Structure 1
Amino acid sequence: MDNPNKPILLIVDDNPTNIKVLFNFLKESGFKVLVAKDGESALSKLQEISPDLVLLDVMMPGIDGFETCRRMKEDPKLKEIPVIFMTALSDTVDKVKGLSLGAVDYITKPFQQEEVLARINLHLKLRSLTLDLAQKNEKLENFNHELERQVEERTAELKRTQSQLVLGEKMSALGQLVAGVAHEINNPVNFIYGNLRYASEYTHGLLELVQKYQEKDPDPGEEIEELIEEIDLEFVNEDLPRLLNSMQIGAERIREIVLSLRNFSRVDEAEFKEADLHAGIDSTLMILHSKTKAKGDDPGIEIIRDYGKLPLVKCYPGQLNQVFMNLLVNAIDALEENRKSERKIEIITQKREKDIEIRITDNAGGIPPEVQDKLFNPFFTTKPVGKGTGLGLAIVHSIIVEKHGGTIECQSQVNDGTAFILRLPVDN
């Protein structure tokens, strides 16, 4: 039974005697031998089979051995097959010509069997080593490509993780700072707020007492009359209650701001717990009030709240506040760049069958479709260098999808606006 792994040799020669001698000798030496009687038939046969080595006669009818070799080396499928020329010529010029065409060796007629066998085995061994080296190089190249790909992935993951940690630390530091400021403001504000009621009562009593004195003694004397005129007692009677009322309203506003700051910081709410999402949105809007309010000729950005009736939601409240902050800041930035005459952000919430939906919509210029597919990719940003890290929406996606098991979707129409739809699971 023939060994299927026998090396295959192709003899190309027009001399029947040479073919017979080589065929029998090489077959007995353990090779599988094929024969072609001219260059054209050899090239045709080479399209069907791929021998391990070609023994090629130089002088043949039709195209000679040199032309046959040249065509082989021009064919990508054949160029790596080693060619040994067979010739009776001893001219060095012919040998140089053959080698320059890509042949690997020469054997001279009449054949010396031991020499022929030694040269064939040498070049088959070299071909085997070359193929083996090529395979190893290919594997090494593939390994390097895979290694480079893994390094790029790990580097991107590391950068993303580092950036998330840095941003998380910044948000934590901001939360600590906001909480500290809120705490420091809270005590004196409560003191002022609590005492304003008494101040208002005392003032009312004193003004009433002055009025009674005026009724009892309409002519208090020149000195008191001058003092009444100097302090404009009539105006004080009218304005002081309004002044105290304004102070009361201002103190209440400061208390609301402090409460919003404390709600936004959520320093004591790192665990998974029930929270009022509307309170988180409102506290975030309060933090951003200076960016949305009217200033001079700038009419500001209209904030439309269309809140549905929501249950308390189990979540990480501080992280969701970070989501609201990132989405609202992006909407505000887009509106500031767009500079429409009427700019607005609409926030709609609703309880659905199995989740809570929060929709934040702006009427800026919209986002092109080719950009929408990349919005949640880490480090992708359309903002100028130095204005955006490309991490805001990636972190929003991570918090909503990975931390809360929800979904986030972007719907945008160019020249119209953009909506980000958040959906958070909720127990019915």
Structure 2
Amino acid sequence: MLVPPADILLVDDNPTNLDVLARVLKRQNHRVRTVTSGAMALEAMRRQPPEVVLMDVAMPEMDGYDTCLAMGQDANLSLIPVIFISAMDSPLDKVKAFQSGGRDYVTKPFSSDEVLARVEHQVTLRRMQKHLEQQNQSLLDANLKLKEIHVLKANFTAMLVHDLRSPLTGVGLVLDALKEGQAIRPSTLDQALASFGRVQTLLEEMLDLHRSEHGQLPIEAVPFEPVPWLESVADHFQVRAHDAGILLQTQWPETLPMITGDRSKLDRVLHNLLGNAIKFTPRGGAVKLEAGMEFGSGVEAGLRFLRLGIIDTGRGIPADQLPFIFDPFRQAEPGDAQRGFGLGLAIVQRLVAAHQGQIRAQSQPGFGTSFTVLLPL
């Protein structure tokens, strides 16, 4: 046998013919089903489409030609190859068979080797056709994905230009004033310095993103105590939260196990998550930084993690956007480009991954968002 076993449906109103043909095919390990009418054949094919049908022409009520025509009108059956097996061997009979949609024609009495060869030929062609269809669909999907990436990168570039142009314009105005000998007010100078700092941050984020995409994000891991670290991060954000009219809450045990990691990189993780939480929480809301132990389950059974949680009562993230918040080429909402470029979360995810950790997000629009970071101990 030249092909692996196939699923074959035999259609003939003569049980003896079905038995002879089935034995020939089963000797080659083909999986064979038999029915005795065209109507039964259509029902069997709709329940489970075979790879090839061997069908007699002369059958009562619904002959082979009519059955083949009915298959051609059903989108789920039209591509199944039909081999007619009939005692009628005139040229007109064969022409009618092909006109009704048949792929091949074998005359009775038939040779076993001929039937097997024709079956294997049709099975091979159908399998090649299916493989080609799958390849074409894969190419179509890949092409659509490339187009989507192209659009996302174009939007990414546009947002990048926007985020660079705005602060650089402020810096440029100050430089022009200095060049002309004009006095610069301290507040204007402070704004220019802040704008320059935003440009530096954006460029650093771009560089970190490039490094992470190429596996070049260095981690200098050293042991350190989590509690003093968390206290220092909370102290840093207390003033910012107070100025924004937001209550910053903290909760963790008095002691936590030592953790090994790059503290400066983990600082960026918490600073980004807390900064976003405060940015998108309205005045009068609350942000909470919490920590604790978590034990792994399933494939992670026996492992221990330091769990960091950042919870806010902000506007939340729509469900259709939540799966893409760590994608550097997407922006949560178009208007957010003026409030931050959106590279931060992409970098946070990569920094956590570089520590063999995990990050997940949950959100409900109008109620808030929570981020959970798990770092292995």
Written as runs of structure 1 = structure 2, the 5 A alignment for 1:204-219 is none
Partner of 2:121: 122
Q: Decide whether aligned partners of structure 1 residues 15 and 262 sit closer, same or farther in structure 2, where only a CA change above 3 A counts.
A: closer
Distance 1:78 1:258, change over 3 A: same
Distance across 2 between alignment mates of 1:48 and 1:10: 12
Describe the shift of the 1:36–1:170 C-alpha distance in structure 2 as closer, same or farther (beyond 3 A): same
**Structure 2: distance between partners of 1:358 and 1:27:** 73
Q: Using the alignment, how far apart are the partners of 2:106 and 2:198 within structure 1? A: 85
Look up the match of 1:35.
34
Structure 1 residue 32: deviation in Å? 2.0
* CA-CA distance at 1:41 after TM superposition: 1.4
State how far apart, in whole Å, the 2-side matches of 1:64 and 1:352 are.
80
Q: Contact 1:87–1:109 (CA<8 Å) still a contact in 2?
A: yes
Match of 2:57 in 1: 58
Does the 8 A contact of 2:163 with 2:337 survive in 1? no
| 1:69 Cα deviation from its structure 2 partner | 0.7
Instruction: Tell me, yes or no, if the aligned pair for 1:51 and 1:81 is still in contact at 8 Å.
Output: yes
Residue correspondence of structure 1 range 297-336 to structure 2 within 5 A: none
Specify whether residues 150 and 271 from structure 1 end up closer, same or farther in structure 2 by C-alpha distance, changes over 3 A only. closer
Deviation at 1:82, TM superposition (A): 0.9
TM-score normalized with structure 2 length: 0.51
Check if 1:395 corresponds to 2:338: yes
Please give the alpha-carbon distance, in whole angstroms, between the structure 2 residues aligned to 1:185 and 1:37: 100
SS at 1:47 equivalent: helix
Q: Which runs of 5+ in 2 are unaligned?
A: 200-237, 249-277, 284-319, 322-329, 349-377
Residue of structure 2 equivalent to 1:136: 135
Aligned equivalents of 1:127, 1:88: Cα separation in 2: 26
Classify the secondary structure of the residue corresponding to 2:339.
helix
- CA contact under 8 A between 1:185 and 1:258: conserved in structure 2? no
Partner Cα distance (2:108, 2:165) in 1: 80
Alignment partner of 1:86: what SS?
strand
CA distance in 2, matches of 1:271, 1:159: 17
Distance 1:150 1:8 in 2: 41
Q: Distance in 1 between matches of 2:98 and 2:187?
A: 87
User: Do 2:171 and 2:193's aligned partners in 1 also have CA atoms closer than 8 Å?
Assistant: no
Counterpart of 2:57 in structure 1: which amino acid?
V
Identity %: 30
Counterparts of 1:45-194 in structure 2 under 5 Å?
Answer: 45-181=44-180, 184-186=181-183
Shift of 1:266: 4.1
Amino acid at match of 1:60: M
Cα shift at 1:33: 1.8
Shift of 1:98: 2.2
**Residues 292-341 of structure 1 deviation map (CA, whole Å, 9 limit, x = unaligned):** xxxxxxxxxxxxxxxxxxxx9779xxxxxxxxxxxxxxxxxxxxxxxxxx
Deviation of 1:259 after TM superposition, in Å, equals 5.4
**Cα–Cα, structure 1 residues 267 and 126, in superposed 2: closer, same or farther, change >3 Å?**
closer
CA contact (8 A) 1:43 1:68 kept: yes
Q: Which has the greater radius of gyration?
A: 1
1:104: how far off? 0.9
Structure with more contact order per residue of length (Cα contacts < 8 Å, sep ≥ 6): 2
Q: CA deviation at 1:118?
A: 1.2
* Cα distance in 2, alignment partners of residues 271 and 85 from structure 1: 76
Alpha-carbon distance change, 107 to 19 in structure 1, aligned in 2, over 3 angstroms: same
CA distance, structure 2, for counterparts of residue 32 and residue 16 of structure 1? 18
Preserved contact between residue 12 and residue 35 of structure 1 (Cα < 8 Å): yes
Equivalent residues of 1:179, 1:261 under 8 A apart = no
> What is the TM-score when the length of structure 1 is the normalising length?
0.46
Q: Is the Cα contact below 8 Å between 2:246 and 2:282 reproduced in 1?
A: no
**Against the structure 1 CA distance between its residues 350 and 13, is the aligned structure 2 distance closer, same or farther, given a 3 Å change threshold?**
closer
Code of the aligned partner of 1:395: Q
Contact 1:175/1:264 (<8 A) preserved: no
Letter of the structure 1 residue corresponding to residue 78 of structure 2:
K
Deviation at 1:96, TM superposition (A): 2.5
Query: For the Cα contact (< 8 Å) 1:73–1:102, is it kept in 2?
Result: yes
Write the distance in 2 (CA, Å) between the matches of 1:21 and 1:314: 87
Distance 1:271 1:72, change over 3 A: closer
* Distance in 1 between residues matched to 2:196 and 2:85, nearest whole Å: 89
Q: Which amino acid in the other structure matches residue 50 of structure 2?
A: P
**How far apart, CA to CA, are the structure 1 residues paired with 2:168 and 2:191?**
15
Partner in structure 1 of residue 291 of structure 2: none
The Cα of 1:271 is off from its aligned counterpart by 8.7
Deviation at 1:21, TM superposition (A): 2.2
Would the aligned equivalents of 1:26 and 1:33 in 2 still touch at CA under 8 Å?
yes
Compute the displacement of 1:18 (Å). 2.2
Aligned: 1:15 with 2:17: no
Distance verdict in 2 for CA 1:266–1:25, change over 3 Å: closer
Task: Give the CA RMSD over aligned residues.
Answer: 4.0
Letter in 2 for 1:115: E
